[in-house]
């Protein structure tokens, strides 16, 4: 919500008419009053008429659900989904927007879905021979049925420490670092609360965390590289959102050749997932050897004015509000590109 507020606050009201939509925890869409955006924090109270998009290409409109009579339709030109995690960043909302035939910012169904699923994402990275840390994927059922076999398989594949993660999530939720067998059991049970698919990954020791912003559709470009100095042992939920001690270093203090590798790999990763519009690509760099490991792609990165994604563009010469203009233009461009496809074989 903070990202959404920042984006709306930076949009040129002479150029855009804003139609803010809030999604409640239970999944209801509410059309918010744009005036709510003006008071500090005011829009954090989700209030407004219940609205919906129909999964049909005819109306291109937001529909009011209750007492919908006059003025119940609001035509939309572009949707900017500022949603993190499952049921937002994972292709589901994107699928609805495809059916509604409304241009939208960011990746399509495939890129969004793969960007949310670390197992599928790693498989595509591997296919492109992009360097990632060794890992294994397990279904929760297999773990519950045979934890010993799962642990033995990992132990014979790579030494401790490991990271255990739910495959589909983000924000470091459900992720733990594991140093031994006892910690492994706790970590797997924690991750298994969030997903039916679990990742066990070799830790990159003394990892430095660097990130690159990618922008574009078929010919994406990479920003300068930024580094995160987390306040905790790793970049967990608390250091991401709750404390102010985490620092961003832009540009990252890296030899030029390493920064170039990181930027080129970021573009490759974007293309490997068939992303569109924007993505932040995250890396882990071994502190001593400066070996670069691709970690993950985030198709809807944090977007407050102090978030890494827009900060990296600012440092690369694209100010925040111009970045929003570019993303909207890219959404329209991609929609037109898809519409150029022949859609019927017979007529």
> Footprint of ligand ADP on this chain (CB under 6 A)?
133, 163, 165, 169-172, 175, 201, 203-204, 207, 209, 234-235, 282, 284, 295-296
Q: Nearer to ligand ADP by C-beta: 207 or 224?
A: 207
Q: Nearer to ligand ADP by C-beta: 126 or 339?
A: 126
Token readout for 57 is: 């290409």
User: How crowded is the C-beta side of 285, counted as CA atoms within 13 Å?
Assistant: 24
> In angstroms, what is the minimal distance from the CB of 115 to ligand ADP?
10
> In angstroms, what is the minimal distance from the CB of 206 to ligand ADP?
9
Q: Where are the alpha helices (DSSP H) in the chain?
A: 2-10, 92-100, 109-116, 118-127, 140-145, 147-157, 181-192, 237, 256-272, 308-315, 320-339
Q: Nearer to ligand ADP by C-beta: 172 or 265?
A: 172
Q: Nearer to ligand ADP by C-beta: 16 or 234?
A: 234
> In angstroms, what is the minimal distance from the CB of 171 to ligand ADP?
5
Q: Nearer to ligand ADP by C-beta: 48 or 111?
A: 111
Token readout for 242 is: 């709750």
Note if the bond before 245 is cis, omega within 30 degrees.
no
Q: What's the CA gap between 134 and 201, in Å, rounded?
A: 6
Is there a contact between 330 and 340 (Cβ–Cβ < 8 Å)?
Answer: no
> In angstroms, what is the minimal distance from the CB of 12 to ligand ADP?
32
Q: What's the CA gap between 81 and 310, in Å, rounded?
A: 16
> In angstroms, what is the minimal distance from the CB of 306 to ligand ADP?
18
> In angstroms, what is the minimal distance from the CB of 1 to ligand ADP?
19
* Paired strand residues for 30: 22, 50
Q: Nearer to ligand ADP by C-beta: 201 or 314?
A: 201
């Amino acid at each position: 919500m903070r990202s959404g507020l920042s984006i709306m606050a930076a949009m040129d009201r002479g150029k855009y008419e804003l139609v803010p939509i809030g999604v409640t925890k239970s999944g209801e869409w509410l059309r918010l009053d744009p005036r709510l955006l003006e008071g500090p924090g005011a829009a954090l109270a989700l209030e407004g008429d219940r609205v919906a998009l129909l999964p049909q290409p005819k109306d291109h409109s937001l529909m009011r659900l209750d007492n919908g009579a006059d003025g119940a339709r609001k035509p939309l030109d572009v949707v900017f989904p500022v949603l993190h995690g499952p049921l937002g960043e994972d292709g589901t909302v994107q699928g609805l927007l495809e059916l509604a035939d409304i241009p939208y910012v960011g990746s399509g169904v495939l890129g969004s879905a793969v960007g949310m699923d670390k197992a599928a994402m790693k498989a595509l990275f591997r296919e492109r021979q992009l360097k990632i840390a060794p890992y294994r994927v397990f279904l929760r059922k297999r773990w519950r049925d045979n934890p010993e076999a799962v642990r033995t398989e990992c132990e014979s594949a790579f030494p401790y420490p490991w990271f255990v993660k739910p495959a589909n999530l983000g924000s470091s939720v459900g992720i733990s670092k594991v140093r031994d067998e006892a910690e492994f059991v706790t970590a797997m049970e924690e991750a298994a609360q969030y997903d039916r698919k679990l990742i066990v990954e070799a830790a990159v020791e003394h990892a430095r965390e660097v990130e690159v912003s990618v922008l574009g559709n078929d010919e994406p470009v990479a920003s300068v590289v930024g580094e995160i100095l987390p306040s905790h042992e790793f970049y967990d939920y608390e250091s991401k959102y709750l404390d102010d001690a985490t620092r961003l270093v832009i540009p990252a203090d890296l030899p030029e050749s390493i920064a170039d590798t990181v930027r080129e790999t970021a573009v490759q990763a974007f293309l490997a997932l068939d992303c569109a519009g924007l993505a932040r690509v995250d890396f882990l760099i071994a502190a001593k050897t400066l070996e670069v490991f691709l970690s993950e792609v985030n198709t809807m990165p944090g977007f407050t004015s102090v978030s890494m994604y827009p900060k990296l563009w600012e440092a690369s010469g694209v100010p925040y509000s111009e970045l929003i203009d570019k993303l909207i233009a890219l959404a329209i461009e991609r929609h037109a590109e898809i519409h150029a496809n022949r859609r019927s074989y017979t007529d």
